Chains A and B, each alone.
Chain A
Amino acid sequence: DMKVTQMPRYLIKRMGENVLLECGQDMSHETMYWYRQDPGLGLQLIYISYDVDSNSEGDIPKGYRVSRKKREHFSLILDSAKTNQTSVYFCASSSPPTSNSDYTFGSGTRLLVI
């Protein structure tokens, strides 16, 4: 099965702690994404990665950074987590050009910052 795997599924962190969310895909997709989902806001794009070490800010990059050292792996890092970063984070991958439903999402990571 082609899939996007996110780890961990659930995470509780204290304010100020560092957070690492990991995402892997087994489809050799070039493009990977990190989104966050909050009630009523749909999904908002944090970062997009076009390939290894080729990352671009999305719509809400503040407070986040990313790392992509291998095509199949894309990490989201929160340095000094804040309570307003409590959210559900989704990773996704696609192959260009994006068409015919080739977007694949992971199952999400539920992050609670207390």
Chain B
Amino acid sequence: GQQVQQSPTSLVLQEGENAELQCNFSTSLNSMQWFYQRPGGSLVSVFYNPSGTKQSGRLTSTTVIKERRSSLHISSSQITDSGTYLCARLNNAGAKLTFGGGTRLTVRP
């Protein structure tokens, strides 16, 4: 089975609504990252989040290492938030990323 599982696989919101994206890891977690991918575009790192809570503008990431899970909260969603959000587990050496399948977010006006 997949080491990194994301839910939901897709999400449609009205502009202004909040979103909660989940990431669960089947193996022990050392550290992880959240990435954002524009439609048809490259990946950009959103959070490097070994443990605890981090916030950047309308985005908040919370990672609980012992429970092997992480969440990404998007508040007051905007149309420009549309795209795919991917979480990834970093291996112990910190070099290799193992990705989840992603959550495709669509924000409508």
Contact = CB atoms under 8 A, between A and B. Distances in A.
A31 B95 CA distance: 8
A31 to B, nearest CB: 6
Nearest to A97: B94
Q: How large is the interface on A (under 10, 10 to 19, 20 to 34, 35 or more residues)?
A: 20 to 34
Given A100-B48, A101-B45, A107-B41, A45 B97 contact: yes
Contacts of B33: 101, 103
Contacts of A99: 31, 48, 94
B96 A58 contact: yes
B43 interface: yes
A25 interface: no
Contacts of B4: 42
A89 B61 CA distance: 28
Given A42-B101, A43-B99, A103 B94 contact: no
B100 to A, nearest CB: 5
B48 A42 contact: no
Interface residues of B, number: 25
Interface in B29-63: 31, 33, 41-45, 47-48
Contacts of B31: 99
A40 B5 CA distance: 11
A99 B95 CA distance: 9
B83 interface: no
A98 B95 contact: yes
B74 interface: no
Contacts of B44: 105
Contact of A105 (B43, B48, B90, B101): B43
Interface in B87-109: 88, 90, 93-102
B94 A42 contact: no
Given A99-B48, A100-B48, A42 B100 contact: yes
Please list the 7 inter-chain residue pairs (A to B) with the smallest Cβ-Cβ separation, ordered nearest first: A42-B99, A101-B45, A98-B94, A105-B43, A97-B94, A43-B99, A101-B48
Interface of A: 31, 33, 35, 40-45, 48, 50, 58-59, 90, 92, 94, 96-101, 103, 105-108
